[in-house]
């Protein structure tokens, strides 16, 4: 792969690239040595792309973080209270709700993408409302909706498990000290904070790395809905394995840094 690939998505560079096509046999990696070379080249290229501050890459990373960040924020804002409620209360039908939640935790992203696609398409139940509140297909907002649906059950389910793992007598103790129901719930969540942060990490991991839903509802449109995962798919299909590996490395790096930050949020509890 020539060094000029650093600007791999800039228009002038794209003009020099062959048109996207199905990979031919010579594109396939044929030996273990070649695989290692591709990975090493990808690593070097990843570093080079970051150091060069490639604008196309920056745009893709920014959109990836923006879409997944907003989706994670929404699923956290909804998922943690729902998880806490399911962990702290007992009501008729709770088992059914929990079973639904557990099913949602294993829901394939591409199926979520398909449902969101059908809902938001012009002939779909939400799309035909033609409301400004309903995001259109092939927009970052549609990708946020899909990713929120993917991460919500994970955030909610893990939060519920973390809350249920807290000493049940803590609730009575906090109430006995004069806590209101809200203060009591907050105290229990604070005691379950390691598990709650794990729920957020799991939610983030599920969406930053998923490709099926964002491909379906986003469409991988350059400068508009292209994110790291869809760019990896595109470059792999084009046979640009080293570039695909480079993008994959950046994705891994982003995920690693984000998870490190969340572990830091867990604070000293992690080492106990």
Partner 1 sequence: MNGLVYQLQDVTKTYNGKQVLQVDALEIQRGEMLALVGPSGAGKSTLLRLLNFIETPTDGSIRFLGAAFDGQRQVPLELRRRVTMVFQRPVLLSRSVQANVAYGLQLRGRRQVDAQVREVLESVGLADLAAQDARTLSGGEAQRVALARAMILEPDVLLLDEPTANLDPYNVGLIEDIIRQINQRGTTLVMVTHNVFQARRLAHRVALALSGKIIEVDDTQRFFQSPRDKRTAAFVAGDMVY
- Judged by the rule CB under 8 A, the positions of this chain that interact with partner 1 are 167, 169-170, 172-180, 183, 187, 190-191, 269, 272
| Least distance (Å) between residue 157 CB and partner 1 | 23
Q: Which of 7, 47, 37 has the alpha carbon at shortest distance from 250?
A: 47
Question: Please, which residue, 103 or 180, has the CB nearer to partner 1?
Answer: 180
**How far apart are CB 195 and partner 1 at their closest, in Å?**
12
Q: Closest approach of Cβ 193 to partner 1, in Å?
A: 9
Q: DSSP letter string over 73-136?
A: HHHHHHHHHHHHHHHH---TTHHHHHHHHHHHHT--HHHHHHHHHHHHSTTSTTGGG--TTSPP
- First and final C-alpha spacing in the chain: 48
Residue 89 vs 132, nearer CB to partner 1: 89
Rounded least distance, CB 81 to partner 1, Å? 20
Nearer to partner 1 by Cβ, of 108 and 267: the residue is: 267
Smaller CB distance to partner 1: residue 58 or 176?
176
Taking the complex as a whole, how short is the minimal distance between the CB of residue 268 and partner 1, in angstroms? 8
Count CB neighbours of 115 within 10 A.
16
Rounded to whole angstroms, the maximal C-alpha distance in the chain is: 73
Radius of gyration of the chain (CA): 22
Nearer to partner 1, 103 or 172 (CB): 172
Neighbour count for residue 230 (Cβ, 10 Å): 23
């Amino acid at each position: 792969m020539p060094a000029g690939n650093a600007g791999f998505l800039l228009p002038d560079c794209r003009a020099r690239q062959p048109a996207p096509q199905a990979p031919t046999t010579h594109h396939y990696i044929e030996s273990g040595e070649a695989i290692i070379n591709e990975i090493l080249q990808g690593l070097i290229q990843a570093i080079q792309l970051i150091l060069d501050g490639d604008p196309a890459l920056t745009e893709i990373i920014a959109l990836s973080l923006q879409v997944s960040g907003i989706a994670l924020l929404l699923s956290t804002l909804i998922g943690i209270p729902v998880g806490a409620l399911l962990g702290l209360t007992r009501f008729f039908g709770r088992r059914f709700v929990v079973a639904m939640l557990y099913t949602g935790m294993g829901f394939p992203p591409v199926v979520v993408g398909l449902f969101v696609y059908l809902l938001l398409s012009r002939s779909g139940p939400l799309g035909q409302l033609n409301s400004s509140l309903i995001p259109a297909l092939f927009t970052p907002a549609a990708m946020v909706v899909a990713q929120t649906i993917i991460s919500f059950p994970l955030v909610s389910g893990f939060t519920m498990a973390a809350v249920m793992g807290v000493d049940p007598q803590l609730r009575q103790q906090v109430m006995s000290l004069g806590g209101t129901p809200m203060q009591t719930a907050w105290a229990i969540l604070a005691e379950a904070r390691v598990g709650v942060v794990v729920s957020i990490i799991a939610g983030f991991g599920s969406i930053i790395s998923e490709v099926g839903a964002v491909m379906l509802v986003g469409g991988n449109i350059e400068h508009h809905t292209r994110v790291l995962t869809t760019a990896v798919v595109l470059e792999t299909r084009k046979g640009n394995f080293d570039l695909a590996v480079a993008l994959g490395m950046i994705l891994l790096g982003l995920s690693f840094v984000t998870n490190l930050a969340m572990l830091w949020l867990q604070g000293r509890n992690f080492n106990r």
